[in-house]
Chain A
Amino acid sequence: MKKLKAFSSAVAYIIIGLFILSALFPYFWMITCAIRDQSDLFTIPPKLFSASASLENFTYVLTRTRIPQYMLNSVVIAISATLMCLVAAIPAGYALARFPFKGRKIVSSGVILFKLLPQSAALIPLYIIMGKLKMMDTHFGLAYVHLFTMVPFAIWMSRGFFKTVPVAVEEAALIDGCNKPQALVRVMLPITGPGLFSVGVYAFMLSWEEFIFSYTFTSSRAKPVSVGIALFLGEDANLWGAVMASAILMGIPVLIVFFLLQDHFIKGIIGGAVKG
């Protein structure tokens, strides 16, 4: 029996190991291709390991392309979208978690429904309106339309975090003379701070990687990095090393933040997806 157990856990380790290997191989390939010379990139057969190592591709991306400008656009857009998103989502999530009002179930279902809407359903009308309002290719315009996906998600996540706080905490605040908005600001926000911070970061990431709206509503001035990289990828010039380098530049900040906040993310995102 003991032997059997040791054997089956060895099998489990091997299977997990294989999955981890296939999850990580593209990153290995991305990084090694980004730091090799152009001449080592286009060999037949391709070399798994390359002798050359240089940061040439990174300096090329940072100095000779518009990727840095697009990154800056993305930062501006994602920060302003995140701020607007939190202002809208936190009170709504709080009310959904706390007030037993009539029609709460319908409102909750409505939020989920918004979360699942395909972006294409609003794409064409928004394109027409944005054109009329002269919001096309502006940072604010793009930040605002990004809220389409961000707000429902953030409402749902923050609702989950507010639900984890015992009602007694808030009642204590009310007895001590707070009104409900004060209880939210002075008591609930500090307690749920880390959770709500992760809501903000997740919202930021949704904006950072958003593609279909960004592609439709920008042409040059406000173009974010996701679109910049996609167009870079589509060019005929065989700059694969530089494409990999720019993908790394876009992905690394996100992954670092994820490692720092993963427990909050997992709680916040999964919590709402299966249990309603």
Chain B
Amino acid sequence: MLLYAKIKRTLGKERIIYYFIPAMIILGTLAVYPLVNNVWLSLHTKAGKWSLGNFARLFGDKWFWNSMLTTGKWMVLTVAGELLVGLLLANLINLRLRGTKMFRTLLMIPWMTPMIAVCTVWAWMYNGDFGILNHGINQLFGSDILFLSNPATAVIWLSLVYIWKRSSFVMLMYLSGLQGISMDIYEACKIDGAPWYTQLFKVTLPLMFPVIRSVLLISIITAMNQFTIAYSITKGGPSRSTELMQMYIFNTGIAGFQYNYGAAASMVFLIVVLTLAVGYIFATEKAEEDMF
């Protein structure tokens, strides 16, 4: 009873930190401690001796640079693709044609489907012997495309899966921005007789700039953190041409049991992602100030 009274008395004071305790325990054990541990691991040899050897080896590893380059390619392809498709779709949906809500729902089905389910059907469609896409291309153009067996282009076809899945999400983010622009401004344009391109460049794009900046940054980070598509469809092949950074970390650190070396690779990757993430946070804070 005394304990109960004590708890009640302390809770009565309503210390704000209590509201965060469960989240702090979870994120502390799952994120903060592992990150610190990761730094420690990356700076030690397997035997536990302090050394910078992991990083020296990493920067001399051509497969590490291969993964960095692949991740870069992957990022440029997917981000450019989803941003363009998303922007186009958002503008089409924003015309508010009849049936728009249904169109939006249908377009969002890929985004809501579990990633691995999406990967299975695309792997089957890309199949070299019995795949429907290869057959379709063959019928239309009379030649085959080696979707997943050509190291030079496999990453392009994988990025198509990602763009297919994620464009509608980008569309939604744009839509929330577009719908935040007051119709009064467009009416004023109409009264002043401004042509559509003036509207686009002087009204829509400047007002959308904060949204576009946030969408761009979050898309870059999400694309870099992708793992499932490449792992389940190509396993990083052919000849390691689709081995994204997270996969390299998994393959060396977990599958190859080189904890310290993998930790070093993930440190380098983390620094890149964190830099972008900090940029995103500043951008969204700025967007909030701009909007309200």
B16, B19, B121: the one contacting A244 at CB < 8 Å is B121
Give chain A's interface residue range (CB within 8 Å of chain B).
35 or more
A90 to B176 alpha-carbon distance, docked (Å)? 25
Contact call B89/A45, Cβ cutoff below 8 A? no
Task: Scan A141-170; emit 1 where CB is below 8 A from any B CB, else 0.
Answer: 000110110011001000000000000000
B30, B119, B249, B287: the one contacting A120 at CB < 8 Å is B249
Contact call B19/A44, Cβ cutoff below 8 A? no
Contact call B120/A243, Cβ cutoff below 8 A? yes
User: Within 8 Å CB of B106, what residues of A?
Assistant: 20, 23-24
A-B Cβ contacts below 8 A, count: 280
Interface centre among A84, A205, A276 (most CB of B within 10 A): A276
Answer whether residue B11 sits at the interface, using C-beta atoms and an 8 A cutoff. Answer: yes
Task: Scan A97-110; emit 1 where CB is below 8 A from any B CB, else 0.
Answer: 00101000101010
Contact call B41/A124, Cβ cutoff below 8 A? yes
User: Within 8 Å CB of A87, what residues of B?
Assistant: 22
Interface centre among B113, B127, B211, B270 (most CB of A within 10 A): B113
Answer whether residue A15 sits at the interface, using C-beta atoms and an 8 A cutoff. Answer: yes
Given contacts A101-B16, A181-B14, contact A125 B38 (CB under 8 A): yes
Answer whether residue A76 sits at the interface, using C-beta atoms and an 8 A cutoff. Answer: no
Among the stretches A51-59, A61-69, A186-194, A226-234, the one at the interface with B is A226-234
The chain A residue sitting closest to B103, CB to CB, is: A16
A262 to B103 alpha-carbon distance, docked (Å)? 13
Among the stretches B43-51, B72-80, B187-195, B220-228, the one at the interface with A is B220-228
Answer whether residue B81 sits at the interface, using C-beta atoms and an 8 A cutoff. Answer: no
Contact call B11/A181, Cβ cutoff below 8 A? yes
Main secondary structure on B side of the interface with A: helix
The chain B residue sitting closest to A45, CB to CB, is: B135
Task: Scan A73-102; emit 1 where CB is below 8 A from any B CB, else 0.
Answer: 000000000001001110110110001010
Q: How far is the CB of A124 from chain B (nearest CB, A)?
A: 5
Answer whether residue A27 sits at the interface, using C-beta atoms and an 8 A cutoff. Answer: yes
A92 to B23 alpha-carbon distance, docked (Å)? 7
A-B contact pairs, 16 of them (CB 8 A): A43-B130, A46-B135, A84-B26, A99-B19, A109-B281, A118-B246, A121-B35, A122-B38, A129-B37, A181-B11, A211-B228, A230-B232, A240-B130, A244-B121, A259-B105, A274-B176
B interface residue numbers (CB < 8 A to A): 11-12, 14, 16, 18-20, 22-23, 25-27, 30-31, 33-35, 37-38, 41, 85, 88-89, 92-93, 95, 97, 103, 105-110, 112-125, 127, 129-132, 135, 138-139, 164, 168, 172-173, 176-177, 210-211, 214-215, 218, 221, 224-225, 227-228, 231-232, 235, 245-246, 249-250, 253-254, 259, 262-263, 266-267, 269-270, 273-274, 276-278, 280-281, 284-285, 287-288, 291
